[in-house]
Every structure is written in C-alpha cells, then in structure tokens.
C-alpha cells in the first residue's frame, strides 16, 4: 500500500521510541500541531484531500513526488559531516537530484569527514601560530589538497612550517575522449592543478572537469599537424614545477602506452621533481568495449599486442617481428597507423597471415566524430583512404575482430 516504504524506512533508521506507528488511515486531527505533514499518495483526489486538511490546520505539507501538492521540498544531501552538501531540484526532477547526489558522492572521499573534524580541532592553533593571513592560507591550501586523498589525517598534517613551495608533476591519462571514462583520481588531479599541459587529442569534455583557475596550455601532439617538440614540453614542465606549481600533463589514452611518459618521468626525476602517474583507458581497450568484442578468446586469441604504427621518421619501425604479429593466436592493435596501414597489411600477408583475417579501422574512437570500418585484412588498404589523415586511427587485426 502507499506509504509502506516510508514506514519501513522510518522503522529501520530511527532509534526505538522515536517513532509511533498508527496502522490506520490518516485523520485531519493527526495533522493538528504537527511541524510538517508528509504523505505518499498515488491518486490526485486523495492528495487534494490531504492538502486541504493540512491547510485547514496550518501545517506545511509535502506529497512525495508531486510538486504541485508541496509547500516545501526535501533536498538530497551528501553527508561527510561536518561537511554536508545539499542538492535540490525544487521538486522538478527528484530522480535527477538523486543522480546529482551520486555524482558528488563519488567525488568526496569518506575520509573527508575526518579531515573536516580535524580542521575544526586545530583551527585555533593555526590562527595563533600563523598570524599572517598569507601563511594561514598556504597552510589551509596544503591541508585541503591532502584532504581529498583516501587516508585520514595524521599528527604530522599539523605541520605549521611554511616551506618554499614545492612543485610536482602528475601525468594523467585522459582516456579516449569520453569524460565518463576518467578515473576519480584523474578528476581529483585536474581539480588540484595549477597548470594543465594537454594534448590536441584531449576532449573539451575532459577539460571541463578541471579546476577553473588552472592555466591550460595546448602542447599539440596530433598526426600531420604542427606540435611542440618533446624537449620543449619537458623544459616547460620543469620550469613550471620549479615555480612551485602542480603541473598536470594530460595525455589522451593512457600516458604509459605510446605517450612518451618514460622520457618525461626520467627527466623530472633527474631534476628532483616529484612525479606521479594516473592511468587512463587506452584507445585499444576503448575500441574493444565499443565493439563489444573481447581482445582475447579461449578459442581464437590468447594474447594481445599493442603496436606502434608510426616511428620517429613517420614510417614503420624497422625491427617489428612480423611473424609474431601474424600469429593466428593473437590480436594486434596498431596505433597511429593511418598512413602506414597498407604497409602493415603487406607485411602481415607476407609473413603468412590469411588475407581474409577480420580487421577493424577506427578513427576518433569514443567521440562524436567516431568512424568504424569492418572487413577482411586484404580490403583494409582501400578502405583507409576514406579516413581523415589527421584523425587518431587504430587498426585492429585478428580472429577476435570477426
């Protein structure tokens, strides 16, 4: 019956003695002297009767999920007490409000409640020992940044020394373009960044999640287009980090797969700059999910190979093992392969791969401009001519692609 869920919820969550249950239909007298009147009513006639009764006794009323019969609304909350975030749609879309609450829940770690309580305990101490407003601000900014980690606060988090600002770099994988595929750690890095150095392939949707005050600098990195040299990017990261900034190097896909992250990490460590890596979903993995095809299959493929289709000089790397790549029991995905695809196909067939092996060409995977082609290996060189030369292109080959 209507109201059963509300009663069950109340009985489950309120302490004994805090709620009285009357197992009968409501009466107008029940509303007299109440602080609020809340009802779960399905039909309009009964809802109108409830509202009329509440008005006669002067009690604010709310008929659940019926905004036209409400004088007030209940907002959703995200409770990290003493941090509490309220969400309301003014009754227009309760389910949307619940979805917004869930999004915020994922962004605020449960440990935030402990950090907020700790801040309350030490506030007077900080005020006394750091009389200068800039010093206090520097302390609380460091404190706030640490509070979004997963651990609770420790005694050394009350370090009131004001050190020379220490810069750091975070290499973040932006995935294939869909912001829904970012990790929570990636979002938190973007929201704590002072400067974001991003590739041309990073979507505007992903950048929208970054801290508003962060400076954003495009550093290129797209086939057939002008871009910053890697050494220039390295020096820019180094200079910004030495200024005490948190630099996020935002790369499409996963930074550790064809992202030159190894060179950047080596350079930063050589100069004593702290560096960390946040993984992302590589385009090859996104392609498999998009197609609904497993890259491995017990009867078809027992291994996966990610292969660069683009060397330093623009051609294929000279030392690829084509016999291994042509094996029947593997799935191979060639990155940056728009220009070199015909040569890849020729080498695979020459190494013994069946010309009828299933293959997929994918450009802009996971974006609105996405384009896909399925067909036999031998047909792919003709098909790739219709693909934009500047689009990030994958070429997947193997029996699992059928």
Pairing type for strands 61-63 and 195-198 reads unpaired
Phi and psi (nearest 5°) for 157? Answer: -75, -5
H or E segment at 329?
Answer: none
Q: Which residues are CB-neighbours of 254 under 8 A, at least 6 positions away?
A: 173, 175, 279, 280, 281, 282
Closest Cα to residue 269, out of 257, 279, 261, 258?
A: 261
Q: What is the DSSP letter of 301?
A: B
Euclidean distance between CA atoms 307 and 303, whole angstroms: 13
Question: Residues 265, 268, 271, 273: what is their CA dihedral angle, to the nearest 10 degrees?
Answer: -120
Question: Within 10 A of 178 (CB to CB), how many other CB atoms are there?
Answer: 17
Q: Which two tokens stand for residue 314?
A: 């623009």
Q: Which residues are catalytic?
A: 199, 221
Euclidean distance between CA atoms 292 and 286, whole angstroms: 10
Closest Cα to residue 221, out of 245, 202, 196?
A: 202
Token look-up 């330093």 returns: 312
Q: Which two tokens stand for residue 292?
A: 């609904």
Decide if 241 contacts 167 (C-beta within 8 A).
Answer: yes
Token look-up 């029940």 returns: 30
Q: At what angle do helices 112-129 and 133-146 cross, to 10 degrees?
A: 160
Phi and psi (nearest 5°) for 336? Answer: 50, 50
- Counts for the chain of helices (H) and strands (E), in that order: 14, 14
Helices (H), 58-111: 94-107
Euclidean distance between CA atoms 241 and 193, whole angstroms: 11
Token look-up 């869909």 returns: 178
């Amino acid at each position: 019956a209507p109201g059963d869920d509300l009663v069950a919820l109340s009985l489950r969550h309120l302490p004994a003695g805090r709620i009285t249950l009357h197992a009968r239909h409501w009466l107008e007298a029940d509303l007299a002297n109440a602080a609020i009147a809340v009802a779960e009513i399905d039909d309009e006639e009964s809802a109108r009767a409830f509202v009329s009764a509440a008005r006669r006794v002067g009690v604010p009323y709310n008929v659940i999920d019926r905004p036209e019969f409400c004088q007030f609304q209940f907002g959703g909350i995200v409770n990290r007490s003493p941090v509490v975030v309220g969400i309301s749609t003014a009754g227009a879309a309760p389910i949307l409000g619940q979805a917004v609450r869930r999004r915020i829940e994922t962004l605020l770690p449960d440990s935030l409640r402990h950090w907020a309580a700790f801040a309350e305990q030490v506030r007077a101490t900080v005020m006394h020992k750091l009389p200068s407003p800039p010093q206090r601000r520097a302390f609380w900014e460091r404190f706030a940044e640490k509070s979004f980690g997963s651990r609770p606060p420790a005694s050394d988090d009350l370090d009131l020394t004001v050190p020379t600002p220490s810069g750091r770099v975070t290499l973040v994988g932006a995935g294939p373009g869909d912001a829904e595929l970012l990790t929570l750690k990636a979002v938190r890095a973007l929201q704590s960044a002072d400067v974001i150095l991003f590739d041309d392939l990073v979507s505007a949707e992903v950048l929208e999640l970054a801290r508003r005050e962060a400076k954003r600098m495009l550093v290129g990195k797209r086939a057939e287009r002008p871009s910053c040299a890697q050494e220039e990017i390295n020096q820019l990261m180094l200079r910004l980090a030495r200024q005490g900034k948190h630099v996020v190097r935002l790369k499409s896909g996963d930074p550790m797969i064809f992202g030159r992250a190894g060179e950047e990490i080596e350079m930063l460590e050589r100069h004593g700059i702290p560096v960390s890596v946040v993984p992302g979903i590589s385009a090859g993995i996104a392609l498999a999910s998009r197609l609904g095809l497993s890259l491995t299959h017990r009867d078809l493929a027992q291994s996966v190979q990610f292969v660069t289709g683009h060397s330093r000089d623009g051609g294929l790397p000279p030392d690829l093992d084509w016999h291994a790549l042509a094996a029947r029991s593997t799935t191979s995905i060639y990155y940056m392969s728009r220009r070199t695809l015909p040569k890849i196909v020729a080498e695979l067939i020459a190494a013994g791969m069946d010309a009828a092996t299933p293959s997929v060409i994918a450009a802009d995977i996971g974006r609105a401009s996405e384009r896909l082609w399925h067909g036999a290996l031998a047909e792919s060189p003709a098909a790739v001519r219709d693909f934009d030369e500047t689009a990030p292109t994958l070429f997947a080959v193997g029996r699992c692609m059928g």
